[in-house]
């Protein structure tokens, strides 16, 4: 029938094509920056696996910029300037982030670059941006250990989300924890934070496992969890394939409570999977449309008025809140500095910037550590996938870097730290 086909050549062709896809660079040609413009370059995956998490954030930047421009813009460098958002699609491909970051810095002459969802994308983009001595922001929850002069983080850190949440879970559910996560920098760090929390609050990390992106069959893991019998599961599952864990575990009859710092807050899985796949889930959220704050109602109204398409934006997720807030924080820094010049802007950012109407509640960028103090909330999900507010775990400070002696206003070490770099916590990781 198909005897004429050379099977080996076919496979070779497929592999070549896979690489060609990765190397393909699109995007519109750069336009020269006008004198009365401040350029924000935003690289987010509006297509591919991570578009679910990244799309709301990408449009929230535009929303905040429009608000500032409608109010007249910002007076810097002797003239009134408007903010221009240049947006690129990172296509959920790490290599694209590197290329597009260069484009932002060198072609678009960006004054600031916002880029990436995953830690892998972040490092690809961040390296390029900080090498060009341009300000970089990551606007998702993160490890909380990057200490670099040009890098800023609007999202909550492991210290702010994992420590109080795991403490609550140990006290209210039980001490034995089974951790599963994606095999990359962020989830590996979340594993470390979970282990730290277990040691600090009388819990026990009975098992810790990491999986490459793209794993979609979970029976082996489900069996192992059933045999280990933890009190709760801690999840850092990332991407469309990983979250298939939920319907599979539910169908297999696994009922051990789960907790996650990425599920629901970013990918609104409770709206994507038919109930009761997410039953028995606890979710840590620093902002989403379900967070009960005074600023959230008006924020959601403005967001929905601007983006009424609920098929494109089914849920106003955590990234949307950070996306809006970070533009206002930068505007405040430029206003204070009176210029968009990088070093002066960093000095303004390092004087602490508070955004009072951040939709997740009070939000303050701490200049000493380049991370933001903010609230952490805990929700539970029932068999009908209703989100129930469980607790405000408090206004939490990102003190981790300060605790190990870092003050970015004096000297930026230019590296990343993990919980095990804290001498008090190092014993938790012995034999690891």
Spatial contact of 89 and 79, defined as CB atoms under 8 Å apart: no
Among 107, 92, 109, 106, smallest CA distance to 43 is for: 92
Cα–Cα distance for residue pair 96/171, rounded to 1 Å:
43
Omega prior to 203 cis, within 30 of 0: no
The piece of 101-109, 157-165, 265-273, 346-354 that touches other proteins (CB under 8 A) is 265-273
Indicate which single residue of 26, 29, 253, 405 sits in contact with other proteins (rule: CB under 8 A).
Answer: 253
Map the footprint of other proteins across residues 336-355, applying CB under 8 A. Answer: none
* 32 lies in the site for other proteins, by CB under 8 A: no
Each residue 76-115 as x (binds other proteins by CB under 8 A) or -, in order, gives ----------------x-----------------------
Name the E strands within 46-162: 74-76, 79-89, 112-115, 135-138, 146-147, 151-153
Q: Per-residue x/- marks for other proteins, 163-202, CB under 8 A?
A: --------------------x-------------------
Contacts for 407 with CB less than 8 Å, ≥ 6 apart:
368, 369
CA atoms within 13 A on the CB side of 352: 12
From start to end of 15-156, where are the E strands? 37-44, 74-76, 79-89, 112-115, 135-138, 146-147, 151-153
The reply on whether position 223 binds other proteins by CB under 8 A is yes
Under the binding rule (CB under 8 A), the answer on residue 368 touching other proteins is no
Helix (H) or strand (E) holding 247: helix 245-251
Position 305 contacts other proteins (CB under 8 A):
no
* Interface stretch with other proteins, choices 26-34, 75-83, 205-213, 323-331 (CB under 8 A): 205-213
Binding-site member from 27, 87, 175, 247 for other proteins (CB under 8 A)? 247
Q: Which of 32, 71, 220, 305 binds other proteins (CB under 8 A)?
A: 220
| Binder of other proteins out of 25, 271, 356, 426 (CB under 8 A) | 271
User: At its nearest, how many Å lie between other proteins and the CB of residue 33?
Assistant: 29
Size of the site for other proteins (CB under 8 A): 58
Beta strands 74-76; 135-138: pairing state = unpaired
Compute the distance between CA of residue 166 and CA of residue 260 in angstroms, rounded to an integer: 10
Give the footprint of other proteins on this chain (CB under 8 A). 1-5, 7-11, 13-14, 17, 47-49, 51-52, 55, 92, 183, 209-212, 214-217, 219-221, 223, 226-227, 240-241, 243-244, 247-248, 250-254, 271-277, 309, 311-314
């Amino acid at each position: 029938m198909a005897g004429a086909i050379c099977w080996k050549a076919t496979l070779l062709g497929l592999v070549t094509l896979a690489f060609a896809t990765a190397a393909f660079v699109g995007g519109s040609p750069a336009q020269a920056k006008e004198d009365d413009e401040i350029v924000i370059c935003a690289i987010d995956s509006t297509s591919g696996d991570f578009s679910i998490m990244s799309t709301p954030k990408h449009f929230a930047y535009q929303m905040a910029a429009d608000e500032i421009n409608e109010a007249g813009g910002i007076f810097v460098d002797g003239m009134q300037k408007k903010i221009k958002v240049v947006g690129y699609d990172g296509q959920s491909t790490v290599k694209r982030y590197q290329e597009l970051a260069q484009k932002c810095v060198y072609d678009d002459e960006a004054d600031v670059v916002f880029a990436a969802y995953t830690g892998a994308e972040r490092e690809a983009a961040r390296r390029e941006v900080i090498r060009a001595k341009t300000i970089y922001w990551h606007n998702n929850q993160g490890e909380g250990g990057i200490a670099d002069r040009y890098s800023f983080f609007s999202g909550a850190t492991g210290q702010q989300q994992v420590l109080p949440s795991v403490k609550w879970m140990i006290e209210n559910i039980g001490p034995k924890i089974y951790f599963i996560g994606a095999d990359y920098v962020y989830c590996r760090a979340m594993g470390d934070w979970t282990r730290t929390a277990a040691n600090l609050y009388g819990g026990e990390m009975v098992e810790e496992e990491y999986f490459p992106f793209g794993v979609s069959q979970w029976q082996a893991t489900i069996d192992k969890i059933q045999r280990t019998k933890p009190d709760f599961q801690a999840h850092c599952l990332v991407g469309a394939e990983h979250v298939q864990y939920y319907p599979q575990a539910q169908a297999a009859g696994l009922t051990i409570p789960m907790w996650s710092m990425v599920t629901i807050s970013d990918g609104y899985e409770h709206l994507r999977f038919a109930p009761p796949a997410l039953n028995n889930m606890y979710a840590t959220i620093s902002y989403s449309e379900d967070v009960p704050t005074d600023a959230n109602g008006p924020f959601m109204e403005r967001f929905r008025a601007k983006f009424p398409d609920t098929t494109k934006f089914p849920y106003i997720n955590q990234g949307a809140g950070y996306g809006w807030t970070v533009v206002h924080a930068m505007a405040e820094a430029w206003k204070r500095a009176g210029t968009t010049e990088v070093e002066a802007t960093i000095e303004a950012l390092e004087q602490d910037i508070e955004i009072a109407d951040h939709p997740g509640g009070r939000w303050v960028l701490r200049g000493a550590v380049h991370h933001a103090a903010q609230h952490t909330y805990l929700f539970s999900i029932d068999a009908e996938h209703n989100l129930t507010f469980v607790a405000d775990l408090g206004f939490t400070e990102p003190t981790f870097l300060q605790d190990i002696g870092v003050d970015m206003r004096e000297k930026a070490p230019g590296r990343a730290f993990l919980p095990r770099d804290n001498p008090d916590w190092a014993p938790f990781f012995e034999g690891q």
